Amino acid sequence: MTLDRRRLIKAALVGPIAAPFVGRAQAAAKPETITLDWAYYNPVSLILKDQGWLEEELAADGIGVRWVQSLGSNKALEFLNAGSLDLGSTAGAAALLGRVNKQPIKVVYVFSKPEWTALVTRPDTGIAAVKDLAGRSVAATKGTDPYIFLLRALEGAGLSAADIQLVLLQHDQGRLALERGDVDAWAGLDPMMAQTELESANILFYRDPDANSYGVLNVREAFLEAHPDLVARVLKVYERGRRHALENRDALIATLAAAAKLSPAVATRQIERTDLTEPRLGDAQRSTILAAGKALQGAGIIDAAVDVEATLESLLDRRFVADLASAG
């Protein structure tokens, strides 16, 4: 039996998530390395990086795995656009905004339904509701779910970004600015949001879990077109990690705490707000991301001429996860 035939048979046996993509993959030379991101806001990525399961999956093919940290959706999108990542994790709304801005990416998987953002303030600011932000300074990271969450919250209160003093900072710097008193509020992101809540007694004064868009895995279109079989195999390993996380909650908390240098209490609070049961790109995911896109268009962030619904459809690639089952 030839080496190519052995490889073809091996690829056909990796599971139903990969089987439909074997034939097309033979035309493209395999890459030497696949580059993925890991992020504190993507707990499944921490499990995979820690366990080395993807390295095991690809070792026989001579394909290496490189892990790059993403500090927010904006950074993951930058890395994808530059070709520094093949697969990167973002919020669903951030991925849509990237697609609107002509980024050649596809969403192929849902790694979480999180409540990873809320609006946060100190007890001494007198801020108790979104309307109280008028004229106040608010830190946010542009192009991320917390930023989009802030804009939607302002719109719901009859305000806009022009009514506040928007201070653009990366997530960790936004938290520090809030704690130092440099800003009055912060569009937070876990686990830093849980840290400031539990360790500095700061207040999540506005929460809306349904306005948090899903945590999704994006693939560069060029990589997807050349290597659909490898994308399928990565997602097979992601499924292993997601199910492991569901079945081993204490281990997940310990992994997050170690990676992000968090206390067990902070890591536990983040995981309490993170639902890992649904990997599919179904109607609920589509509706949530579409609502965020429509809100961004209403706020003038997305041009009125853009067909948001069509753009979202061009972003979502459901073929890899259509047969997956949710797990509670």
Residue 168 CB coordination number (10 Å):
12
Rg of the chain taking only CA atoms, in angstroms:
20
Question: pTM for this structure?
Answer: 0.85
Q: Do residues 132 and 272 touch, judged by C-beta distance below 8 A?
A: no
Per-residue pLDDT of 192-232, as tens digits, reads 999 999 999 999 999 999 999 999 999 999 999 999 999 99
Token pair 């992020």: residue = 39
Residue 2 scores a pLDDT above 50: no
Q: Which pLDDT value is given to residue 295?
A: 86
CATH class of 3-113+213-315: alpha beta
Phi-psi region of 225 (alpha: psi -120 to 50; beta: other; left: phi over 0): alpha
Which amino acid, one-letter code, is at 1? M
Residue 64 CB coordination number (10 Å):
13
Residue 305 CB coordination number (10 Å):
6
Kind of pairing, strands 33-38 and 64-69? parallel
Q: Do residues 187 and 146 touch, judged by C-beta distance below 8 A?
A: yes
Q: What percent of the chain has pLDDT over 70?
A: 90
CATH class of 119-211: alpha beta
Q: Which pLDDT value is given to residue 214?
A: 95
Kind of pairing, strands 87-91 and 165-168? unpaired
Per-residue pLDDT of 62-81, as tens digits, reads 999 999 999 999 999 999 99
76 vs 60: CA distance, rounded Å: 28
Residue 144 scores a pLDDT above 70: yes
Kind of pairing, strands 137-140 and 165-168? parallel
Sheet containing 203-206, strands listed edge to edge, beginning at the edge strand earlier in sequence: 165-168, 137-140, 185-187, 119-121, 203-206
Q: Which of 25, 22, 24 is nearest to 9 (CA)?
A: 22
- Count of residues making up the chain: 328
17 vs 135: CA distance, rounded Å: 51
Q: Domain spans of the chain?
A: 3-113+213-315, 119-211
